[in-house]
Amino acid sequence: MNWYTYTIPFLPLTGAAINGLIGKRLPRPLVGLIACAAMLAAAIFSTMTLFDLLRLPVEERSLYGELYNWMTSGELSVGFGFLVDQLSVVMMLVVSWVGFLIHVYSVGYMAHDNGFARYFSYLNLFAGLMLILVMAGNFPLAFAGWEGVGLCSYLLIGFWHHKKSAADAGKKAFIVNRIGDFGFLLGLALLFANVGSLDYRQVFAAAMVGEIDPQIALGVSLLLFVGAMGKSAQLPLYVWLPDAMEGPTPVSALIHAATMVTAGVYMVIRCRPLFELDPTALTVVLIVGTATAIFAATIGLAQRDIKRVLAYSTVSQLGYMFMACGLGAYIVALFHLMIHAFFKALLFLGSGSVIHAMHDEQDMFKMGGLKAKLKTTYWTFLWGSLAIAGIFPFAGFFSKDEILFKAFAGHHYIIWGIGAFTALLTSFYVFRVVFMTFHGKHRGPDFGKVHESPALMTVPLVVLAILSLVGGWVGISFLGEHNYFHQFLAPLLAGGHHAAGGEHHLKLEIVLAIFSVTLAFFGIWLARHLVLARRDRLELLTRKFGPAHKTLVGKYYVDEIYDAVLVRPLNRLSKIFWQVIDDGVIDGLVRFQGVWTQMAGRLLALFSSGQVRRYALYFLVGAVAVIGYFIKG
């Protein structure tokens, strides 16, 4: 591994240290420059690492380098080591390049915020830890990154901590993630107890030669997947992600759309040898992913807040990725992860630009007609929407289409049906946003004050828009041969599950593609019809399906159910523990300990009288006792 690969995570960490320690005293442009330069350098080095990998023969494209021995305790020996293979390099590229664009955008977005340096310190810290997470060569190091990004997520969601809702959202994200992390940690413990190592290469090698009992592997996989469910906001632990939108919008783009939330997907892909040992594990992943995809998409239909729609969309898209993992189509999952990073970052940044222009208004019912004023934002947002809706030739088409194709080809027709229906919902809800925000008449006050965002913000939008179009072309596989993306990753990720290909499938794939594009167009048409052309029909529908609509608006009341079933009983229980057990019993015992130790101390202190004669006497008594015991009998 070359020296610059080692420096990749440390560049943003250095930026974080500088901005965190002395950023307040530095001029703002310099703070922004440090943060962006650190990310750019990391991105360039990641790209250079990609070329390093490409220069190697296909079967040797896995580099491992250890900085130092991190800890040794008994059998456990963990190195601060990085594993760079095809999988991690894709993640590194996504994290660093998308991260860089979002950093640049943030310089414009946060320009007037008081916590400018603090913001960039957190953002850089996040990027550094995320890079550690994806580059780690063993579970503990990955877990350090995993926890670290969770911390940054908490800090950034609650960035405006004087706002109660932001502080609460931060706490919620943190606590819900703890549940997942606990599962993850248990998984690691179970793994270590049975395999005796936490190094990726050793564990996976053991899994591949069948040294791990499938039952154990199932337990480990499911526990790891609990962690992934927390981090990647899957059912039933998704509840924190929509609330996380309280943070600054670029944070939503970077952490809660493009990178951190995909860590769970990355982890499942990374641990595929464990998941594959028992088919149940992947089935669970498949079911959870599919259920989340449609569940979140339906909630997204009825939200008013522009960012919340996108948040539920993220949850739903992550469901797609897990669906692909569950089908054993890891390359496709990773492909969708990458494409999603492009278009969802774009959509979030676009929505940020809208919110910026509307002076922090997020309610779509108060928007409309912004197309005229926000040209760049509109066009880029539209490209992003076309990408997520899966319109040919935008990137989302290739990735989503391939997932559905894998489901169909694997004879999971129900999964395919749900996936296709979710695709229809997706194109509907995203174009509902487009039409409500940019088309029609403006419904809010102060239309005159609306202005386009500065170039610092629009340039990243344009770059991401282009990526949302061409990013998918590396994955074109219509010509019978495998595409570049596939070719690059296949040596690592294509296992026994990859059976697709050939003439028969090509036809099927085209048919399915045409079908899903038709669905997407239908969704767009429906959105246009109901939002713009015949608003009365939308209202009629809403009235007719009143309870159903209310349920959707109320997000299936999951938050309320959790509150009633878990949060409030827990609060009551902790109150008992606090007031009776802690204050009464434990504190009482502790106070008692304090009293008697002090008493004993006072008594023993009497011995130190200051008189040498006494000292010599005590000495002698002790000596006689020791010698007497030794030689007696």
Binding residues for another protein (CB under 8 A): 68-72, 594, 597-598, 600-602, 604-605, 607-608, 610, 612, 614-616, 618-619, 621-623, 626-627, 629-631
- Is residue 395 within 8 A of residue 476, CB to CB? The reply is no
Q: How far apart are CA 356 and CA 379, in angstroms?
A: 17
User: Which tokens sit at 12?
Assistant: 């943003």
State the burial class of residue 504 (Cβ atoms within 10 Å of its Cβ: 0-12, 13-18, 19+). Answer: exposed
Closer residue to another protein in complex, CB, 58/620:
620
Longest Cα–Cα distance of the chain, Å, equals 108
Closer residue to another protein in complex, CB, 510/623:
623
How near is the Cβ of 579 to another protein at its closest, in Å?
A: 25
Measured at the CA of 293, the angle between CA 349 and CA 132, to 5 degrees, comes to: 55
Residue 35, Cα to own-chain centre: how many angstroms? 21
Closer residue to another protein in complex, CB, 565/620:
620
Closer residue to another protein in complex, CB, 522/615:
615
Closer residue to another protein in complex, CB, 209/603:
603
b/e 126-142 (16+ beta carbons within 10 angstroms → b): bbbbbbbbbbbbbbbbb
- Whether the bond between 236 and the residue before it is cis, its omega within 30 degrees of 0, is yes
How near is the Cβ of 629 to another protein at its closest, in Å?
A: 6
How near is the Cβ of 607 to another protein at its closest, in Å?
A: 6
How near is the Cβ of 127 to another protein at its closest, in Å?
A: 23
Kindly state the helix (H) or strand (E) to which residue 62 belongs, with its residue range: strand 62-73
Closer residue to another protein in complex, CB, 73/114:
73
How near is the Cβ of 183 to another protein at its closest, in Å?
A: 25
Q: How far apart are CA 288 and CA 84, in angstroms?
A: 29
Closer residue to another protein in complex, CB, 137/230:
137
How near is the Cβ of 623 to another protein at its closest, in Å?
A: 5
Closer residue to another protein in complex, CB, 547/633:
633
How near is the Cβ of 189 to another protein at its closest, in Å?
A: 19
Taking alpha carbons only, the member of 60, 42, 70, 264 closest to residue 131 is: 42
How near is the Cβ of 20 to another protein at its closest, in Å?
A: 18
Contacts 24+ apart (CB under 8 A), 20-25: 20/117, 20/118, 20/121, 20/125, 23/116, 23/117, 23/118, 23/120, 23/121, 24/117
Angle between helix 263-270 and 330-357 (nearest 10): 170
